[in-house]
Structure 1
Amino acid sequence: MAGVKVIANDTEFQPELSAAGSRLAVVKFTMRGCGPCLRIAPAFNALSNKYPQATFLEVDVHQCQGTAATNNISATPTFLFFRNKVRIDQYQGADAVGLEDKIKQHLENDPGNSEDTDIPKGYMDLLPFINKAGCECLNESDEHGFENCLRKDSSYLESDCDEQLLITVAFSQPVKLYSMKLQGPDNGQGPKSIKIFINLPRSMDFEEAERSEPTQALQLGPEDIREDGVIQLRYVKFQNVNSVTLFVQSNHGDEETTRITYFTFIGTPVQATNMNDFKRV
């Protein structure tokens, strides 16, 4: 729903965050009589109407002292960004252009609400936490590069010289991985044999990937790479992950190239546990 929801007291804040679910929630912490807060107020209202796919909340630090303390607010205006009640980013100051850039950055990586029924309670789609600038894909086609498989549309990632791909995914903060989605076509080009490595100190090449022991090895069946497929990971081995490297060794039909139509991870940010356990003293 477009518009800014004003939080009247501390008890309203968490229910509003819960209602936002996986949608981006932008929370403005303000204070009566604060000049910069007053200056940016019209722009914040306008942004709430411009980006109705996000939830916009306003919290007065005097009316909601507990919420302000829990979120360590030391200056106003401060804008906090949440998904699934997890704080993912912040922005300070009254620069409307900078604030909108931050909102657009997070909405570009919006997994949408359609995935909620596929994700176990307590976990979330980690696409918003993927740092695209830190990602790398070796042997990707010039026409069908890695970023294509991060979008739910007709585009796709395809290998170039042969069927193998070496994909490194960087996260913007440490995460715990529960499962992943690695979708491909049913024409034989879908990925089959996968080796997964985590937190490598440097990029590896194909020769290293072939000979190195992975964190987990997978043999994917046709059902795993369908649109409704979910690939379980050994959760205990993926508890503090900054980066993941996927070595796609082969595809299902021994085809010349491999295609990946969509790719994401399911899990939680590591910081989520600490935030949920926080109690104001």
Structure 2
Amino acid sequence: MATKPRTTTIGLAGLGNLGLPMAHALLDDGWPLTVFDPAPDKARSCVDAGAKSAESVEELASADVLVLVVPDDAAVESILLGERGYFATSTDGAVIVHSTILPASAQSLAATAREHGTRFIDAPVSGGSARARKGDLTVFVGAEREDFDAVEDVVRAVGSEVLLAGAPGTGAATKLANQMMMFSALAGAHEALDVAGKYGVAPETVLKAVATSTGASWVATNWGFFDDTAAAYSAGGTAVKDRPWSKDLFEFLTAARTAETSAPFAALLSQLLPDYVESHARDAAAGEEHDHDGKDNDD
């Protein structure tokens, strides 16, 4: 199997915050695309750009490559497994899972895929919706080399930085490591700005100060990114528990438990960070800064 734009067909399930711009990036690159989302209206812009719209996820089984950008392990498994799942109904196909799932889930799904003669590529992404639209994401790949080689052109249509970390499961593990590092910095930034604010230092002053200091981070450089992301998730109807600062931290803890190792900092973050992000996003939308105890800063 060798994928080629304009001849290899792609079915993409999941037109959310990342899936929709990724679909447009694939269309820009010339891939024949059929899309599916439980909310059919989300497919409209893709159809206008030349894609076909499927009425059910089962209709994607005829695609040469199935791309999944759905919320979680359960959604991925519901599409791939069972008598009507992709593994059972496709022939000589390939699955690229851009969803953030557990490493153990990726390993199990890859084993099942091999039993059905299907290629499985564990390929979670990082970068946000704007980079997704430009095909500029970072992609963490866990796959057998020959399987990755077979679909590399599809992966590179959405990602400018593509890392083959190892066998299936390593892509998921690398993505979760990235999330843990990022969210640690995000929680620290929230607390730092709160304390500095109590002494009359404006957030923009602190952010400017750390930009050329040892406190610099992607989070500080891109302050406001998560406000915009939370607003996009709210507009799309994504529940808070399914947003990365909730779901991905929970999955990191689950992965640590499966590996029989401790992750006490992640446990603390999972309790604190969702409220930090959601509270700040709400107040950013209202044009005001917010204290994490539920009171305005000027109270």
TM-score computed with the length of structure 1 as normaliser = 0.24
| Greater RCO, CA 8 A, separation 6+ | 1
Structure whose residues are more often helix by fraction = 2
TM-score computed with the length of structure 2 as normaliser = 0.23
Structure whose residues are more often strand by fraction = 1
